[in-house]
């Protein structure tokens, strides 16, 4: 278990993030929660991979929008949050809801971006 790892309960679908790693198991609904692996791929071939665009001090992270095929944002299937990872272990996150565009723009003081993550309620955690 490490800081910022994401776990999901297979029964109640609760999703949590670890801020301070502790004992190895995190229990929910009477059983160990599942670690959500950070999946990755080339964003051109996999719409779940967050695409980072930097313009001045604005960093936009989108899921499928740049490819012309935005990720679905329906009640059943949507991007729950988009996170920007900046240097010095600084994180910025936007929570989304069904009907929103699968995209987030962050204004940063230092555009030295390390990466981005997004979480799809059906397909899990993706990183670029
Ligand atoms: Fe998805």
- Residue ranges and CATH numbers for the domains of the chain are 6-36 (2.20.28), 51-127 (2.60.40.730)
Q: What is the pLDDT of residue 111?
A: 84
Residues with CB under 5 A from ligand 1 (ion): 120, 122-123
Ligand 1 center–CA 63 separation, angstroms: 9
Lowest mean pLDDT among 6-10, 45-49, 60-64, 82-86: 45-49
- Contact present, 102 and 73 (Cβ < 8 Å): yes
Residue in this structure with the two tokens 């990755």, named with its chain if needed: 40
Look up residue 89 and give its two tokens.
């272990």
Ligand 1 center–CA 90 separation, angstroms: 26
Q: What is the mean pLDDT of residues 11-34?
A: 93
Q: What is the pLDDT of residue 24?
A: 81
Tell me what the pLDDT averaged over the chain comes to. 94
Ligand 1 center–CA 23 separation, angstroms: 31
Ligand 1 center–CA 31 separation, angstroms: 25
User: What's the whole-model pTM score?
Assistant: 0.92
Query: How is the chain classified by DSSP, letter by letter?
Result: --TT-EEE-TTT--EEE-SS--SS--EETTEEPEEE--B---TTT-TTSPEEEEETTEEEEESSGGGT-PPP-SSSS-EEEEEEEETTTEEEEEE--TTS-SEEEEE-SS--EEEEEEEETTTEEEE-
Q: What is the mean pLDDT of residues 108-123?
A: 92
pLDDT, one tens digit per residue, over 57-112 is: 999 999 999 999 999 999 999 999 999 999 888 999 999 999 999 999 999 988 88
Ligand 1 center–CA 95 separation, angstroms: 15
Q: What is the pLDDT of residue 46?
A: 86
- Picking from 46, 94, 41, the residue whose alpha carbon sits closest to that of residue 66 is 46
Look up residue 84 and give its two tokens.
């920007």
């Amino acid at each position: 278990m490490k800081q910022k790892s994401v776990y999901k309960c297979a029964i109640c679908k609760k999703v949590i993030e670890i801020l301070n790693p502790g004992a190895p198991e995190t229990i929910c609904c009477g059983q160990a929660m599942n670690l959500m692996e950070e999946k990755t791929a080339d964003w051109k071939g996999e719409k779940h991979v967050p695409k980072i665009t930097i313009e001045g001090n604005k960093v936009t992270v989108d899921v499928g929008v740049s490819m012309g095929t935005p990720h679905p944002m329906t009640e059943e299937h949507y991007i729950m949050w988009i996170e920007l990872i900046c240097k010095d272990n600084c994180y910025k996150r936007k929570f989304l809801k069904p009907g929103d565009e699968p995209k987030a723009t962050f204004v940063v003081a230092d555009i030295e971006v390390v990466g981005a993550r997004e979480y799809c309620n059906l397909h899990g955690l993706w990183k670029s």
